[in-house]
Amino acid sequence: MEAEFVKAPIEVYRYDPGTDRAPRYDRFELELAPHTPVLTALLKIRSDLDPSLTMRYSCRSSICGSCAMVINSKSRLACQTPVGPELERHGRIVIDPMRNMPVLRDLVVEMGGFWGNYRKLEPHLVENPDRPLPEGKTSSMSPEEVDRFKETPRCIACGACYSACPAVEHDAEFPGPMSLAKLYRFVVDPRDGAHRERLLKIQTGGLWLCMRCHLCTEACPKDVRPSERIRDLKEMAIRLQGATEHGSKHAIGFKDNIREKGVLNEFKLVRQTYNSLEMLAQVPQGLKIRRKKPELTQTPKAIEGLAEVEKLYQILDDEPGDSP
Amino acid sequence: MHRHDVVVVGAGLAGQRAALAAVEAGRDVAIVSKLHPLRSHSGAAQGGINAAVGAEDSVDTHIYDTVKGSDYLGDQDAIEFFCREAGPTVVEMEHFGTIFSRGSDGNLARRPFGGQGFPRTIYAADRTGLALLQALYERLGTESFTLYEEWDLTRIVVQDRRVQGIVAFDRRHGDFAGIAAKSVVVATGPAGRIYGRTTNAHSCTGDGIAAAYHAGAQLKDMEFVQFHPTALLESGILITEGARGEGGILKNVGGERFMSRYAPHVLDLASRDVVSRAIWTEVKEGRGFPGGYVHLELMHLGRERIESRLQEICDFCRNFAGVDPVTEPIPIMPGQHYMMGGIGTNIRGETNIAGLFAAGEAACVSIHGANRLGGNSLLETLVFGKQAGNAAAAYSDRAAPTDISEEVVEGESRAVHAMTDRKEGEEPQHLRTEMQATMDELVGIYRQPQELLEAQRRIGALKLRFASVRVVDRSSVYNINLTDALETGHMIDLAEVIVAGAIARTESRGAHARVDFPKRDDANWMKHTLARFTPDGPELSYAPVAFTRWEPKERVY
């Protein structure tokens, strides 16, 4: 099992906000077997080269969630990322702290906001009056009910998804992919009695700020697929109470809109999303678009083969979806 | 200074369960932990939690299996209590929201585990610890308590044989504080990192055990160290016993299912000490693969079963060993896994110091005796976490207020900063590496008297060298180099106790296998080892084992 060693240039973000004027990168040269995890490389640096490098780590087997960081621009677990493929692809390994969280020092970030967003969604079982927990016995759950958890029980709350998420970066209201995946876990739990309240609350609690870029799903080291669970939550929310605010109105509007002509009517989509008063606020933006891309403000013509589009819609209409 | 009724140190399953019990009893509770609760090593437990709930199974059989597994060193009254609590504990955790694996009938699934007569290990795929930790954290989150997150414990303060509280510092800015408490519960987990080859997390450094030892608490049965048979060859990452519970088998270089020679009745599912010794012997006698290891084969179970029930194991093997268990055998060797010993307690979690309690792997009740059965440790954290929390709450209700003086806090701060102020001295990580190599080489699965004496000499020397340890990092913010030093000091102290107990115990029992005394010696050694701190090293004494219904017999699997 002896592997050949390769040269591994590693550049690590260093910053102590209390004493350093600006962040810097320290460069270390190691000789490592290609399958060596980045975490092991960092521990080697700490042990042999610079014990002052600080970071979080514990289990080294991708179950405690401590060592999430940005490795060659991707948010992931250091213990689960071997150096070989990184060196092949990038020639070096650049390590930064997670994004969307303030740096405490070096690779350690302040995760208070991350945990706070999670706790805000009240992640605990609320007893279901329609299905009370049996006294002195465990409850029963059908295989179908168990399947609905999908991969959410695997979540280790490492924060990689939160670090990768542009919606978190842009909007303080967005609870983050992990929190929503956790919320989903409660919404589908047959033992939980707060399905409706959870969905109603999240409809206006940031659910629709997710822009479906799927970077969270790409980042997740445990294949929890948060973006797909966010999609499920959106579907369930709409089924529960229809389109009630911008995000869901936009989604429903989008769907109905394309059905008409087979192509998006941008101008109409604005009306489908906003009420008259809110539309006023969109006027400056509308004028700008009219000046730069006048074709977008005109009603498009129906495409050829509109009937084919309609067939697709009918298939989708017949498809049974998840309901809470 | 901070002040609470009950301070729980450690936020894994035992610590959180203790905190929940104390909060429910109406106390002002704080948890102090060097890790966020969800980062605790409890979350790494894979295989499951035992409860004799099957129709064919019985609590008595669970008790008997645990007594036999302990090689008759477990206290039978404690084991009886423990096994009776198993059913209600699992029900409670299920009601808290734990997502367990289930059978097609909708009820909790069970798998067979080593050394047990029935499939009684309830599980959540191969991440049972994580499932329990999440549910308990979620449940505890509905209560009101104070969390000192990422604080390092430096001292448990005891005056006139009564707990006063603790001294700790906030890793985020390095400030020391006294946290006065009427009751302190130590639930800081094991010290597995005393060994280099261990399944334990880097954080398992026995901080609370060492602090309790220094404060005058008795440590019990520390020489009993469990080696898990199946740790990944290079990294030492745990491959759950559940892999053999699902039907995995061990093979040597000749392709022989060698366990048939060591445990003809139950084969690969013999007790852990038995399987670890068998693997060790195979390799030692030249029947291992080149480089010294054996194979764990799962391939015959089929892709579907492996990937659904052993999902994390698949990931571990693929990510950390470059092996696909669906198509290839897994290279494994035993690794340090569990400490049967710990802070001596009774079944209420009480120690020999008033106001000091302990639970979980940091404690030794003792229910595991000389060898723990798989599936009993998760159960222990919850059963005895609750016990300790209740006892700590009750004690704090009748105890007088406590206090920690500024001088004590400043004294701690000075002692710790002496390490960062030093211009010369050895770095903690190097002392740690030497300690680990010593323990791996000389205090392993089989123990030789000369090797134990050599280990004692080396650990003694490390202890002296540690007195002038130097912490290079001088920052006050998140200085884990300082944490390295504190942890290393704790582990050297505990290594000394392990070695002393192992030298003294001239018999083989459970996980303690002396080559010069290969037999169990009930006439002389049916007793617990107790170790008390003195500046010159541990002072050993012995205490009787509690018996109820089971007479000692020879262990055959």
Q: How far apart are CA A251 and CA B129, in angstroms?
A: 40
The distance of B532 to chain A (nearest Cα, Å) reads: 30
β-pair type (B219-220, B527-532): antiparallel
In this predicted structure, the answer to whether residue A321 has a pLDDT above a threshold of 60 is no
The length of chain A is: 324
Nearest Cα neighbor of B122 from B141, B138, B109 is B109
Task: Give the model's confidence band at A283: pLDDT under 50 very low, under 70 low, under 90 confident, else very high.
Answer: confident
Q: Can you tell me which residue has the tokens 């930064």?
A: A96
Flag if A64 and B39 touch (Cβ within 8 Å): yes
Instruction: Kindly state the average pLDDT of the residues B208-217.
Output: 98
Instruction: Kindly state the average pLDDT of the residues A163-174.
Output: 95
Mean of per-residue pLDDT scores for chain A: 93
**Residues near B159 by beta carbon (within 8 Å), at least 6 away in sequence:** none
According to the model, what pLDDT value does residue A12 have? Answer: 98
**DSSP H helical ranges for B103-192:** 128-140
CA distances from A263 to A209, A257, B481 (A): 24, 8, 61
Per-residue pLDDT tens for B302-342? 999 999 999 989 988 998 888 999 999 999 999 999 999 99
- Angle, CA of A211, A215 and A216, to the nearest 5°: 95
Beta carbons of B201 and A59 less than 8 angstroms apart: yes
Flag if A55 and B480 touch (Cβ within 8 Å): yes
The share of chain B scoring above pLDDT 90, in percent, equals 96
Q: Is A188 exposed, middle or buried (0-12, 13-18, 19+ CB in 10 A)?
A: buried
Per-residue pLDDT tens for B525-554? 999 999 999 999 999 999 999 999 999 999
The distance of A59 to chain B (nearest Cα, Å) reads: 4
Mean of per-residue pLDDT scores for chain B: 97
Q: Note whether A80 contacts B: Cβ–Cβ < 8 A.
A: yes
β-pair type (B513-514, B446-447): parallel
Nearest Cα neighbor of A242 from A275, A274, A199, A278 is A199
Burial pattern B180-210, b for ≥16 Cβ within 10 A else e, equals bbbbbbbbbbbbbbbbbbbbbbbbbbbbbbb
In this predicted structure, the answer to whether residue A6 has a pLDDT above a threshold of 50 is yes
Q: Note whether A154 contacts B: Cβ–Cβ < 8 A.
A: yes
**Helix (H), strand (E) at residue B544:** strand B539-544
Beta carbons of B362 and B189 less than 8 angstroms apart: yes
Beta carbons of A247 and A205 less than 8 angstroms apart: no
Beta carbons of B341 and B222 less than 8 angstroms apart: yes
Question: Which pairs with CB-CB distance under 8 Å and at least 24 residues apart come from A141-145?
Answer: A141/A190, A141/A191, A141/B102, A141/B106, A142/B106, A143/B102, A143/B104, A143/B106, A145/A188, A145/A190
In this predicted structure, the answer to whether residue B152 has a pLDDT above a threshold of 70 is yes
Token output for A155: 């979540």
Contacting residues of B for A52, CB less than 8 Å apart: 472-475, 479, 481
HEC letters along B29-55: EEEEECCCHHHCHHHHCCCCEECCCCC
Instruction: Kindly state the average pLDDT of the residues B219-235.
Output: 96
Q: How far apart are CA A225 and CA B450, in angstroms?
A: 55
Q: How far apart are CA B212 and CA B188, in angstroms?
A: 11
Flag if A60 and B102 touch (Cβ within 8 Å): no
Q: Note whether B57 contacts A: Cβ–Cβ < 8 A.
A: no
Nearest Cα neighbor of B235 from B133, B333, B109 is B333
Per-residue pLDDT tens for A146-156? 999 999 999 99
Flag if A59 and B201 touch (Cβ within 8 Å): yes
In this predicted structure, the answer to whether residue A1 has a pLDDT above a threshold of 60 is no
> Best interface-test mutation with A: which of B95, B332, B474 has the largest number of A CBs within 10 A?
B95
Q: How far apart are CA B347 and CA B351, in angstroms?
A: 10
Q: Note whether A61 contacts B: Cβ–Cβ < 8 A.
A: yes
This model of the complex carries an ipTM of: 0.96
CA A127 to chain CA centroid, Å, is: 28
Rg (CA), chain A: 24
Flag if A64 and B105 touch (Cβ within 8 Å): no
Instruction: Kindly state the average pLDDT of the residues B25-41.
Output: 98
| A127 DSSP 8-state letter | B
In this predicted structure, the answer to whether residue B194 has a pLDDT above a threshold of 50 is yes
A108 forms beta bridges with A105
Per-residue pLDDT tens for A198-242? 999 999 899 999 999 999 999 999 999 999 999 999 999 999 988
Nearest Cα neighbor of B393 from B182, B78, B146, B186 is B182
**Residues near B504 by beta carbon (within 8 Å), at least 6 away in sequence:** B223, B529, B540
B97 vs A124, A140, A146: nearest CB: A124
Residues 313-332 of B with CB under 8 A from A: 315-316, 319-320, 322, 331
B475 vs A80, A105, A123: nearest CB: A105
B427 vs A18, A51, A106: nearest CB: A51
In this predicted structure, the answer to whether residue B45 has a pLDDT above a threshold of 90 is yes
Per-residue pLDDT tens for B51-96? 999 888 999 999 999 999 999 999 999 999 999 999 999 999 999 9
Active-site annotation of B, residues: 228, 244
pTM of the model: 0.95
Flag if A60 and B44 touch (Cβ within 8 Å): no
In this predicted structure, the answer to whether residue A320 has a pLDDT above a threshold of 80 is no
In this predicted structure, the answer to whether residue B38 has a pLDDT above a threshold of 80 is yes
In this predicted structure, the answer to whether residue A175 has a pLDDT above a threshold of 80 is yes
According to the model, what pLDDT value does residue A322 have? Answer: 47
Per-residue pLDDT tens for A61-98? 999 999 999 999 999 999 999 999 999 999 999 999 99
According to the model, what pLDDT value does residue A323 have? Answer: 42
Q: Can you tell me which residue has the tokens 């290609």?
A: A34
In this predicted structure, the answer to whether residue A298 has a pLDDT above a threshold of 90 is no
Nearest Cα neighbor of B8 from B490, B381, B338 is B381
Q: Note whether B201 contacts A: Cβ–Cβ < 8 A.
A: yes
Q: Amino acid identity, residue B33?
A: S
In this predicted structure, the answer to whether residue B173 has a pLDDT above a threshold of 60 is yes
Task: Give the model's confidence band at A324: pLDDT under 50 very low, under 70 low, under 90 confident, else very high.
Answer: very low
